[in-house]
Chain A
Amino acid sequence: MSRFKKASSIIKAYNRFSDIVSTIEEYFITILTLAFGLILIYNLALRALKIQGLIWNEEFSRYMLVITTLIGCSIAVKNKGHMVMDTLVTALPIRIGHVLRAIGYLICSVLYLYLGIYAYKWTGKLVAMNRKSESINIPLWPVWVFVTYAILTMGWRYFVQMLKSISAASRGEKIISEQEAQIAASLEEEAARKKAIADKQGGNVK
């Protein structure tokens, strides 16, 4: 019993830690996206005024996209936000469906952990070669540090999802298809939006 309690408290602590990490990641990529949005607007304004823009703007915006995409994808693993074709998984008996999902997660986990190792090695090579960005004399390896981090965390998050699927299979939990989840989320958001507007209008009336 005490072993069970210990395991459960470890899982709780991990979930709390994982939530904090993904919140920090979400804030980071959103702020990074907004910051580069502002830089792009600034450059657009300079161009409209026929003034030479920032030369590093385009190159670093692309790097920003690489970083935000990969970190965003890693977060999406946790939220089950990736697009899947789960026709077979949802059609099969619940336990088999979960096992099939777990296999899929395991494959993704192995793939990204494998890629992460090579991304790490490549980052090391970039440091050794002292490779610089094209537009300004800045080392390229920090970008790859984020790439490696995102790929490795993606692999790890798929591993966790696999464990969750196995646990769901053992409990015989209902499988929610990606489509159902997507629609439910959209409807929830719409209800929240209407509520927020109604609350605001109520507040204004008061």
Chain B
Amino acid sequence: MIAVALSLFFILLIIGVPVAHVVLGSAAVGVLMAGKNGTILAQQLFLGCDSFLLLAVPFFIISGDLAAKGKTSEKIVSSVNCFLGRLPGGLGIATIFACVLFGAITGSAIACVVAIGTLMMPKLLENGYPRILVLGIITVAGTIGVMIPPSIPMLQQAVAMNISAGAMFTAGFIPGVMTALMMSAYVVWYAVKHKIPRGEGAPWKEKIRILLNSFWALLFPIIILGGIYTGLATPTEAAVVSVFYVLLVELVIYRSYSLKQLFAFMCKSTVSAATLTITVATAQVFVWFMTTAKLPDLIYNAITNHISSTTLLWVLLCLMFLVVGCFTNVITVVVILGPLLVNVLSYYNINLIHFGVIAIMMAQIGFVTPPFGLCLFTTMKIGPATMPEVIKGSWGFLIIMVLATILLIVFPQLSLWLPGLVYNTGVAI
């Protein structure tokens, strides 16, 4: 039964059936083979969506989309640029940190690449940055957004693996900033080596003016994350607040779009959020079926009998994520596979939040690995550039991301220290 369901899973996936339906379809066949009828499947599908935490996904997507379509991205770029622009490679560093801040708002890699990329690419080229480096920065910086809280993939994982979304969000903070700093160091090195001219520094008066002008946009992540970390709001409530905050900022303060446009954007966002939510819901159905068929036990026995060390398990998991990331979204796979691996992870003393952070990191790498990295293609379009050009520009950054992943695996404290501190639970959550 498991073999048939798993075979069907891969066949359906390969012939281009949407991922959400692949998992539901293969679970359905398994359920039918077990002699049950469709009622239980319909109920499980209902239960898969029936989660208060999952409710945060549509609200975060709506707020992120509205912010991306408004003036928030421009405000963030200008404020980051006025502080970092004077450093060697300053404009490149500003692009990376603009993506970090923008990622905190949208949580989407593609939105980051499009919004910040289209804004910064002409500026970087005008300021004498080599085209290859510019393509690399635009491609990889956008991926940091999925690690910086609040992040949709983190929420999906938290729901699927039944872990605290707040702790997961906190865990992504240091790895996200660390990756951004490592990428910035690479840009500085590249700028010094290729003698890229430095930007002109803005006087303090100008800096304060820009900061005041961007005040509402910069306050956005503080309000959302502050609400969650201080315990004033649950992640779902914080997501709702983020929608109404962005409405207030973009509609009343910045006046970026009309009410009619706003409603059209919201309609689109609600539909796109539904497609993400259903992936988690159907994955839950699949996990429920596989659990009743005792697949987690089989996986547990197979892995613990053949893999002797935690390091080897990490290597194998990362290799698997790397291969998966070349063809599809790693997070979808983690949402399906993660709950089945819980026992295995606990056997090897791997914290679920630590696992989640590494999975997000591998998803980031997956966004830029050929042949189907989403950010790779996005940069090719906005460049416009050829794939070899984008790959050439991204290579250095890709190595940095791999190094960051190794660091995160070797030092779990990088992911676990902050959630331990914020949630007062010690390192092991």
* Chain A residues at the B interface, C-beta cutoff of 8 Å: 26-27, 29-30, 33-34, 37, 40-41, 43-44, 48, 58, 61-66, 68-73, 75-76, 79, 81-89, 100-101, 103-104, 107-108, 111-112, 114-115, 117-119, 121-122, 144, 147, 151, 179-180, 182-184, 186-187, 189-190, 193-194, 196-197, 200
Q: In the complex, A30 Cα to B381 Cα: how many Å? A: 31
A-B contact count (CB 8 A): 203
Task: State how many angstroms separate the Cβ of B268 from the closest Cβ of chain A.
Answer: 8
- Residue pair A88, B279 in contact (C-beta under 8 Å): no
Contacts of B17 in A (CB 8 A): 84, 104, 107-108
A-B contact pairs, 5 of them (CB 8 A): A33-B62, A104-B18, A186-B114, A187-B382, A200-B257
Tell me whether A186 and B54 are in contact in the complex, defined as CB-CB below 8 angstroms, given that A79-B271, A82-B20 are known contacts: no
B59 contacts which chain A residues (CB < 8 A)? 33, 37
> When A and B form their complex, which 5 residue pairs have the shortest distance between CB atoms, in order from nearest?
A72-B274, A118-B38, A82-B18, A89-B16, A104-B17
Q: Do B43 and A122 have beta carbons less than 8 Å apart? A: yes
Contact assessment for B257 and A107 in the assembled complex, using a CB-CB cutoff below 8 Å: no
Residues of A within 8 Å of B46, CB to CB, are: 66, 144, 147
Asked if B274 and A68 sit within 8 Å, CB to CB, the answer is: yes
A residues in contact with B243, CB < 8 Å: 37
B407 → A minimal CB distance (Å): 30
| Docked complex Cα distance between A191 and B328 (Å) | 27
Whether B381 lies near A187 (C-beta < 8 A) is yes
Q: Which of B14, B51, B118 contacts A190 (CB 8 A)?
A: B118
Chain A residues closer than 8 Å to B244, beta-carbon distance = 37, 41
A70 & B267 in contact (Cβ 8 Å cutoff): no
Q: Which of B176-184, B211-219, B288-296, B370-378 contacts A (4 or more CB under 8 A)?
A: B370-378
B115, A190: Cβ atoms closer than 8 Å: yes
Whether a CB of chain A sits under 8 angstroms from the CB of B24 is yes
B49 x A34 contact (CB < 8 A): no
Residue B263 CB within 8 A of the other chain? yes
The residues of A that contact B19 with a CB separation of less than 8 Å are 82-85
Shortest Cβ gap from B274 to chain A (Å): 2
Cβ of B206 within 8 Å of any chain A Cβ, yes or no, is no
Q: Which of B230-238, B301-309, B387-395 contacts A (4 or more CB under 8 A)?
A: B230-238
Instruction: Mark B residues whose CB is within 8 Å of A.
Output: 12-21, 24-25, 28, 37-39, 41-43, 45-46, 49-52, 54-55, 58-59, 62, 68-71, 110-111, 114-115, 118, 232-233, 236-237, 240-241, 243-244, 255-257, 261, 263, 266-267, 270-275, 277-279, 281, 327-329, 332, 372, 374, 377-378, 381-382
Among B45, B49, B51, B114, residue most surrounded by chain A Cβ atoms (within 10 Å):
B49
Residues from chain A with Cβ under 8 Å of B270 in the complex: 26, 29-30, 33, 68, 72
Q: Which residues of A contact B41 (CB under 8 A)?
A: 115, 118
B237 near A108: Cβ-Cβ < 8 Å = no
Contact B272 A76 (CB under 8 A): yes
B227 to chain A minimum Cβ distance, whole angstroms, is 9
Contact A65/B58 with A85-B19, A183-B110, A183-B377 known, Cβ cut-off 8 Å:
yes
* Cβ A115 vs Cβ B62 within 8 A: no
Contact of A189 among B18, B69, B236, B267 (CB under 8 A): B69
A186: chain B residues at CB < 8 Å are 110-111, 114, 378
Query: Which of B236, B278, B372 is in CB contact (< 8 Å) with A70?
Result: B278
B255, closest chain A residue (CB) = A200
Assess A114 versus B38: contact at CB under 8 Å? Given A26-B271, A200-B255: yes
Give bound CA distance, A104 to B17, whole Å.
5
> A66-B50, A72-B275, A111-B28 given as contacts; is B15 within 8 A of A89 (CB)?
yes
Does the CB pair A83–B279 fall under 8 Å? Answer: yes
Tell me whether B275 and A83 are in contact (CB under 8 A). yes
Per the bound structure, the CA–CA distance linking A90 and B271 in Å amounts to 25
Which residues from A are CB-within-8-Å of B24? 111
Q: Is the CB of A84 within 8 A of B241?
A: no
> Is the CB–CB distance between B240 and A41 below 8 Å?
yes
Residues of chain B within 8 A of A122, CB atoms compared: 39, 42-43
- A122-B42, A182-B110, A183-B110 given; A197·B274 CB < 8 A: no
Contacting pair B278 A65 (CB below 8 A): no
Chain A residues with CB under 8 Å of B18's CB are: 82-84, 104, 108
Instruction: State in angstroms the CA–CA spacing of A182 and B262 once bound together.
Output: 20
Inter-chain CA distance A158–B267, complex, in Å, is: 21
Known: A69-B277, A71-B274, A115-B38. A58 touches B110 (CB 8 A): no
A75-B271, A108-B17, A111-B21 as given contacts; A30 in contact with B266, CB under 8 Å = yes
B279 CB to closest chain A CB (Å) equals: 7
Q: Give the residues in chain A near B12, CB-CB below 8 Å.
A: 104, 107
Contact of A63 among B21, B50, B377 (CB under 8 A): B50
B49, A69: Cβ atoms under 8 Å?
Answer: yes
A44 to B318, alpha carbons, bound, how many Å?
41
Q: Are B52 and A86 in contact (CB under 8 A)?
A: no
Q: A85 with B327: in contact, given A62-B55, A114-B38 (CB under 8 Å)?
A: yes
In the complex, chain A residues whose CB is within 8 Å of the CB of B45: 70, 115, 151
Known: A76-B271, A183-B377, A186-B110. A86 touches B16 (CB 8 A): yes
